[in-house]
Structure 1
């Protein structure tokens, strides 16, 4: 009898499914296209404004353009992956969302203070988005840790 070659845990994982599922590829393409469209829209709007804009308006356009480019970069990065990611894509997306929520909340609060408006509503709304993004980041890290722990278990079992 000939003995079947033993497959490593990594070989088994790679044979089970393609590196990116159809759903993940669609999500990545959506992030890439939405990010690019948003960046083009923001830059076009910024460029088409007549006259000189105030510094904080320039900063707002720059920050929003950067967020759009971050999502486009994320989508492009994800589409080029040919390896199993073990939820790294979810961790990256969660951190982009958390950074965007924090910066947006801070900018809106500063604008509210400068205008003499109440800061309670902007902080409450921003806090809600920050809490949601933080929850997603915690969940993504937990999922990644569980997948990596399972991979180590399979690899350890294989080595015995």
Structure 2
């Protein structure tokens, strides 16, 4: 019984695409994200719990940062628990989170700059705008990568279809 070389090549390509849920480097990066976000969240929660005399604006800012940290913890946990190939969808989720969180920072800095007239908040809003552009770029890149993988999957399915 002989195996068709074209079918064998397609099977190897499919195995290459779906070999691991996450590369070791990406896994280590998500573990580092999980640890950093956990450390940040614990410190922010401790600060909020032990310093009730902080001004309201400061408490609000710390609570927002705590929510962002907990969101990154949830994201990293989700990615690390996956036992199937993610095929780039985790990058779309991370890109969306980056856009939302950077947008919150930018909007807050812009609002504070408008209400106080402080040059510091205007400078922070400028940095936030730059970061927002980078976050959108990252999100677009993730969408393009997933679209490319989907095109490749459809092509492989098309090629395998008659052979199967």
Aligned: 1:107 with 2:105: no
By how many angstroms is 1:80 displaced?
0.6
Aligned to 1:23: 25
Separation of aligned partners in 1, 2:103 and 2:129? 8
**CA distance, structure 2, for counterparts of residue 13 and residue 67 of structure 1:** 36
1:130 aligns with 132
Cα offset, 1:15, TM superposition: 8.2
Equivalents in 1 of 2:138, 2:104: separation in Å? 17
Match of 1:33 in 2: 35
Q: Which structure has more helix as a fraction of its residues?
A: 2
Task: Output the CA distance in 1 between the equivalents of 2:128 and 2:150.
Answer: 33
- 1:43–1:65 contact (8 Å) kept in structure 2: yes
* Secondary structure of 1:141's aligned partner: helix
| Contact kept in structure 2, 1:31 and 1:74, CA below 8 Å | no
How many residues are paired up?
Answer: 159
Maintained 8 Å contact 2:48/2:62: yes
Aligned to 2:21, the other structure's residue is in SS state coil
Within-5 A mapping of 1:138-149: 138-149=140-151
Note the residue ranges of structure 2 that are not aligned, 5 or more in a row. Answer: none
The answer to whether the 8 Å contact 1:9/1:151 transfers is no
Gaps of 5+ in 1: none
Output one character per residue of 1:69-113: Cα deviation in whole Å (capped at 9) or x when no partner. 111111101111111111111111111111111001111222222
Q: 1:116 to 1:108 in 2, by over 3 A?
A: same
What corresponds to 1:44 in structure 2?
Answer: 46
TM-score by length of 2: 0.84
Q: Deviations over 1:2-25 (max 9, x none)?
A: 668979869933786322110111
Instruction: Give me the whole-angstrom Cα distance separating, in 2, the residues matched to 1:154 and 1:140.
Output: 21
Question: Which contiguous aligned blocks of 4+ residues in structure 1 show a shift greater than 4 angstroms?
Answer: 2-11
| Aligned counterparts of 1:125 and 1:98: Cα–Cα separation in 2 | 14
Query: How far is the alpha carbon of 1:50 from its aligned partner?
Result: 4.2
